[in-house]
Amino acid sequence: MKPYREMSREELKAEEEKLRKEYRKYQAMELHLDMSRGKPCKEQLDLSMGMMDVLDSNADLCCEDGTDCRNYGVLSGIHEAKVLIGDMMENNPDNIIIYGNSSLNVMYDTVSRAYTHGIMGNTPWCRLDKIKFLCPVPGYDRHFGITEYFGIEMIPVPMSPTGPDMDMVENLVSEDPSIKGIWCVPKYANPTGYSYSDETVRRFARLKPAAPDFRIFWDNAYGIHHLYDDRQDYLIEILAECKRAGNPDMVYKFASTSKITFPGSGIAALATSPNNMEDILAQMKVQTIGHDKVNQLRHVRFFKDIHGMTEHMRKQADIIRPKFEAVEQILDENLTGLDIGTWTKPLGGYFISFDSLPGCAKSIVAHAKKAGVVMTGAGATWPYHKDPNDSNIRIAPTYPPMEDLIKAAQLFSLCVKLVSVEKLLGEERTAE
């Protein structure tokens, strides 16, 4: 098929007619499908059911140093969990704090602590007139939700396949002391699936921020979430790189097992420098006596070590890889050559990022919804939910069963085509 833009008005009208008919067929199906959130599917969760057996009533619930995990204490987490998560994050166990079930909660608390008490002796953010964060776009809506909640001004920075626009990041960060942070999903990014190049990470580690309390919020949510065995992105480890560059305290690095074991019942972690750890633990000891150590122990006993976790992730990939490929194939078959959209083909993570013609994303998502398929809201990938081009849509292929996913992806393609045709016909009318 030829690009829509090269079609005559008559051809477009005929195409619109055809697409409308098809769309009505989908509406008649009364679908109730959900491609909105990056949730593991049932089969993925089933992979971790063995975790429910490793600690039974006969189990010894003491950890290696003899501490009874059932009781109070051990603020920063049990050692063997730090070793396991250290291997997962590629960090020294001594630089790791193990938390509860949610890395989002850790990020929120990190911003909240900076707001109420400041970072390492610097002025609390609540005492400053203006705080700004850089936000690579498209990005993760829940990151932006935290900074918005604290009234922090968010500045979008364009993403490319090698990471954020580092010229822009370097200039802004070195000039403006009110810029206190940047949200990063450095590997298999949400939603593009892009991984930061070696050069990008090196430039991050060598930033010269005007603010002494500037921190990189490095959410390595998909560090070991590869889709392929033979094709994997590699990410330079940021803590080590910052240390080498003489910026040891510049990074908070987050991760969790939410998309490894159970999203609701995993363990979250933060890796950072000794100075930052001291700063954080001084607050944490006021906030809690300690996180759930039995669940930490459960994870360690289940995986044994990083090899166990790696093998586990291979099984996860086997379940979701066909879903990514199915969506990509449907998009290919339906949209290639029409010049009405581009999409990413990630090697890992949980999302495909789709860019429509400018001004079409909201309408595409609305059309999908009217036919029973829920997508992530258009605009969600931008700060304040404002995508200036109204073009980016996040596709989350993991949760629906394959059969549903195929239907949803086909309907989505149809909506892209229909909205694009309408848009082009509208433009013609305006031009007439």
Tokens at 318, concatenated: 């086997």
Considering the complex, state which of residue 259 and residue 417 has its C-beta at the smaller distance from a second copy: 259
What is the C-alpha separation between 25 and 22, in angstroms, rounded?
5
DSSP 253: E
Report yes or no: 335 and 242 within 8 Å, Cβ to Cβ: no
Structure tokens at 76: 């920063």
User: At its nearest, how many Å lie between a second copy and the CB of residue 54?
Assistant: 10
| Residue 160 vs 288, nearer CB to a second copy | 288
Q: Are 107 and 253 in contact (CB under 8 A)?
A: no
Give the footprint of a second copy on this chain (CB under 8 A). Answer: 37, 39-40, 42, 45, 48-50, 52-53, 55-57, 59, 61, 68-74, 100-102, 104-105, 108-109, 112, 115-117, 124, 126-127, 142, 145-146, 149-150, 258, 262-265, 283, 286-295
Cβ at position 103, least distance to a second copy in Å = 10
CB of 51 to a second copy, least distance (A): 8
CA distance 182 to 205: 13
* DSSP 3-state of 380: coil
Those residues with Cβ within 8 angstroms of residue 215's Cβ, 6 or more apart along the chain or in another chain: 114, 119, 180, 181, 250, 251, 252
Crossing angle for the helix pair 402-431 and 361-370, nearest 10 degrees? Answer: 130
CB closer to a second copy out of 113 and 187: 113
Task: Tell me whether residue 150 or residue 237 sits nearer to a second copy (CB atom).
Answer: 150
Whichever of 4 and 99 has its CB closer to a second copy, that residue is 99
Q: Cis peptide before 191, with omega less than 30 degrees from 0?
A: yes
Complex with a second copy: residue 203 or 293, whichever CB lies closer: 293
Nearest C-alpha neighbor of 268 from the set 248, 292, 286, 294: 292
For residue 327, the minimal CB distance to a second copy (Å) is 20
Report the nearest approach of a second copy to the CB of residue 183 (Å).
14
Closest distance between a second copy and the C-beta of residue 61, in Å? Answer: 8
- Cβ proximity to a second copy: between 68 and 241 the closer is 68
Question: How many CA atoms within 13 Å lie on the side-chain side of 64?
Answer: 11
* Cα distance between residue 271 and residue 241, in whole Å: 13
- CB atoms under 10 Å from CB of 42, counted, come to 9
* Minimum separation from the CB atom of position 292 to a second copy (A): 5
Q: How far is the CB of 362 from a second copy (least distance, A)?
A: 23
CA 175, 177, 178, 182 dihedral sign is positive
Q: Which is nearer to a second copy, 14 or 289 (CB)?
A: 289
